[in-house]
Amino acid sequence: MTLRIVFMGTPDFSVPVLEGLARAGHEIVAVYTQPPRPGGRRGLEPVPSPVHRTADALGLPVLTPVNFKAQEDGERFRAFGADVAVVVAYGLLLPEAILTGTRLGCYNGHASLLPRWRGAAPIQRAIMAGDRKTGMMVMKMDKGLDTGPVALTREIAIGPDMTAGELHDALSPLAASAMIEAMERLEAGDLPLTPQPEEGVLYAAKISKEETRVEFSKPAADVHNHIRGLAPVPGAWFELTVNGRPERVKILGSTIGDGNGQAGEVLDGLPLTVACGEGAVRLTTLQKAGGKPLAAVDFLRGTPVPAGTRLA
């Protein structure tokens, strides 16, 4: 016996879950994903999402609604006669008609240890806050924002220099194994649900452009967490004067350094250590606008940053 599943997801993170459920023998009756976005070399061609491309490769029907405001959207969803909907990083809010449109409900794979970091950017926010662990949770969805009861939990340690990109890549296969087990237990009628605690709720707001600039006036630990929490996308940045012109430079890797000085002061040329409000950080990977990521030693060959330079 297998489950009839509607899968709902969009980015690369969701792909292993879709592939895993298909390999497990479940019948994926439909795949919902975000509509194609402008992309390609010129940024003009509509590019399907990673989940869309995977569904096409698997021969699965794909739907790309902009929202679920029309009554026929709910009717079409219910017409699939699915046992359950599996949602992983879909990117659209689901109305009541969708949440109740399957026999067993909707189950979401969320990349945090709920109720900590409900919302849009749990991976980035966990690192930016200096959390030492996070995880994947499978929960049954309700009308709230990531408030539903939890069915299954997988924990993972966050290393001291781990970036959001590295944590993303570690959590994605964990999401797949967790959801596959959850669906197996749901099918067997052995998937208990535990309400989330009322204490410890934090919200992981979407990352805004205004918060991506590095503030070297903060303590080194906070600066380091900020850098790695935004790496590689969208990337924390500072301005550096090159040939008399300010250039934006992204920092894609860092670690805690040694030394003290004025906030933003380069303490040595190699390794590239920068003073913070307290302590210092060592910048390990940088990227100029339009350039490729470079190790600090390679970056400095083309763009010297001598000791005493102030980064802002």
Distance CA 101, CA 77 (A): 7
- For residue 162 the two structure tokens come to 């781990």
CA contacts within 13 A on the Cβ side of 121:
17
Q: What is the amino acid identity at position 134?
A: T
User: What angle (nearest 5°) sits at the alpha carbon of residue 233, between those of residues 228 and 234?
Assistant: 100
Distance CA 5, CA 116 (A): 28
Distance CA 92, CA 72 (A): 17
Is 115 labelled as part of a ligand binding site? yes
Residue 58: exposure state from Cβ atoms within 10 A (0-12, 13-18, ≥19): middle
Is 202 labelled as part of a ligand binding site? no
DSSP notation for 160-216: TT--HHHHHHHHHHHHHHHHHHHHHHHHTT----BPPPSSS--EEPPPPGGG-B--T
Is 283 labelled as part of a ligand binding site? no
Is 152 labelled as part of a ligand binding site? no
Distance CA 29, CA 103 (A): 14
Cα R_g (the chain), whole angstroms: 22
Residue 251: exposure state from Cβ atoms within 10 A (0-12, 13-18, ≥19): buried
Residue found by looking up tokens 């029309």 in the block: 70
Question: Which residues contribute to the annotated binding site?
Answer: 112-115
Question: Which residues contribute to the annotated binding site for (6S)-5,6,7,8-tetrahydrofolate?
Answer: 112-115
